[in-house]
Amino acid sequence: MEPVITILVSAAVLLVILWAACRYRKFYKSEHFVCPNCGHCWKPPVRKLVFSVNAVEGKILRCPQCSEKVYVEPVPDKTAK
């Protein structure tokens, strides 16, 4: 019975990782963040995006322009299809 549970848990973890990878790929193809303080638009490195604090629909990130920690929601790119 234990090997079956191990396989099911491993499969569930793999599915979650694949889902997250697809979500981050979608973000990088079609969305960016805009700092509410200075208006700077940016796409954070994946590492920062993965390990940042999630809040409601957006993230809490440090703006690379003004260095303030701000709550930002994804904004669609104008060139996204």
Q: How confident is the model at residue 80 (pLDDT cuts 50, 70, 90)?
A: very low
CB 40 within 8 A of CB 66: yes
Per-residue pLDDT tens over the stretch 23-56: 878 877 888 999 999 999 998 888 887 788 888 7
Per-residue pLDDT of 49-73, as tens digits, reads 778 888 878 889 999 999 999 999 9
| pLDDT value of position 1 | 67
- The reported pLDDT for the residue numbered 81 is 44
Q: Give the Å distances, CA to CA, from 53 to 8, 57, 81.
A: 29, 11, 28
Question: Domain spans of the chain?
Answer: 2-76
According to the model, what pLDDT value does residue 61 have?
92
